[in-house]
Amino acid sequence: MNYILAIESSCDETAAAVLKDGKELLSNIVATQIDIHKTYGGVVPEAASRAHLLSVRPVIEQAMQQAGINYQDLSAVAVTYGPGLAGSLLVGVNAAKGLAAGLGKPLIGVNHIEGHIYANWLLETEPLFPALCLIVSGGHTDLVLIKDHGLYQRLGGTLDDAAGEAFDKASRVLGLPYPGGPSIEKAAQNGKAFLKLPRAWLKNTYNFSFSGLKSAIVRAVQDGDIVNAQDGAASFQEAVCDVLIKKTLDAAQRYQVKNILLAGGVAANKALRHGFTNQSSVVVFRPPIKLCTDNAAFIAAAAYQKYLKEQFADNSLDVCPNLKLI
């Protein structure tokens, strides 16, 4: 029996999860800090690390209690060590190091982006290689070809804003509440995408750019072209999803992948999820919304592959705020 306890604290969610045999989720606890940061309209790093400090222990205890196993039953302790906010990452990494050392269990350091990808291994069927993953989060927008476990080729990514960042900025411009992504999605449901906003196709590359779109929406609000936030949200969401979907499908065909995987907070967006369903001939994996946004279950799923290869960290594991996937 393999039991991995994973801890995630890279941004504004303190999370812990226990995964059995790489597949069966025994617990998945997420303590969100939305109420703290919404006053400021964005994540305040200092406030985030303080909140992690307060919640990390109860969150771990709750995850273990819900899993119904003892600490000694654990096969390993896994933790996100980057990318993310340094002060936030430190809380999780120190908790994991202390636990692993105290229990005499292996420690596994996980890249947060790799974690997002591995949400797709928590579904009923496993993805087939080669797979293409569209990673769309608050800090990242990447198209990654996955040839095997841990074998990545980055085909392209954003040249400026990440998709989630664009959602958050557009939401602010439209006067919608924090957090931006879910607000845009909700507003768009009652709006019409009548405004044709620019799409940066960046032809013959798998790169993305969302800064022009952001400027266009600012201008449209200033010029009075957007009469209500709902229509603005619908137009913006359509422009982002259009580019993400078409470029991903193009890469999927070119690289003859067996599956497309969606990952990251923006993959929670229903317009994006449904857009793929309607247009793709390749099977698209869409993790449940709870596994798209930050959690520790996907960190445990990524850690399981490292456990099998005995890729363990030692007590010198440090946070790496700018950690890259490739």
Say whether residue 191 binds ligand KG4 (CB under 6 A).
no
Binding mask 3-22 for ligand KG4 (x = CB under 6 A): --------x-----------
Residue of 109, 138, 191, 232 that binds ligand KG4 (CB under 6 A): 138
Say whether residue 269 binds ligand KG4 (CB under 6 A).
yes
Tokens of 203: 């032809």
Say whether residue 167 binds ligand KG4 (CB under 6 A).
yes
- What is the spatial distance between Cα 92 and Cα 101, in angstroms, rounded to a whole number? 14
Q: What is the dihedral of CA 265, 320, 31, 68, to 10 degrees?
A: 110
Which positions ≥6 away from 279 have C-beta within 8 Å? 245, 249
> Per-residue DSSP letters for 32-58?
E-HHHHTTTTS--HHHHHHHHHHHHHH
Tokens of 42: 């964005």
Residues 112-141 that bind Zn ion (CB under 5 A): 137
Question: Binding residues for ligand KG4, how many (CB under 6 A)?
Answer: 20
Say whether residue 106 binds ligand KG4 (CB under 6 A).
no
Say whether residue 293 binds ligand KG4 (CB under 6 A).
yes
- What is the spatial distance between Cα 326 and Cα 323, in angstroms, rounded to a whole number? 9
Say whether residue 266 binds ligand KG4 (CB under 6 A).
yes
- What is the spatial distance between Cα 173 and Cα 170, in angstroms, rounded to a whole number? 5
CB of 15 to ligand KG4, least distance (A): 10
Distances (CA, A) of 25 to 3, 99, 115: 10, 20, 15
| Residue 114 interacts with which of Zn ion, ligand KG4, none, CB < 5 to 8 Å by class | none
CB of 112 to ligand KG4, least distance (A): 6
| Residue 82 interacts with which of Zn ion, ligand KG4, none, CB < 5 to 8 Å by class | none
| Residue 269 interacts with which of Zn ion, ligand KG4, none, CB < 5 to 8 Å by class | ligand KG4
- What is the spatial distance between Cα 118 and Cα 98, in angstroms, rounded to a whole number? 25
- What is the spatial distance between Cα 303 and Cα 241, in angstroms, rounded to a whole number? 31
Binding mask 51-90 for ligand KG4 (x = CB under 6 A): ----------------------------------------
Q: Give the three-class secondary structure for 249.
A: helix
Q: How far apart are the first and last CA of the chain?
A: 31
The contact set with Zn ion (CB under 5 A) reads 137, 294
The contact set with ligand KG4 (CB under 6 A) reads 11, 137-139, 164-165, 167-168, 179-182, 185, 264-266, 268-269, 293-294
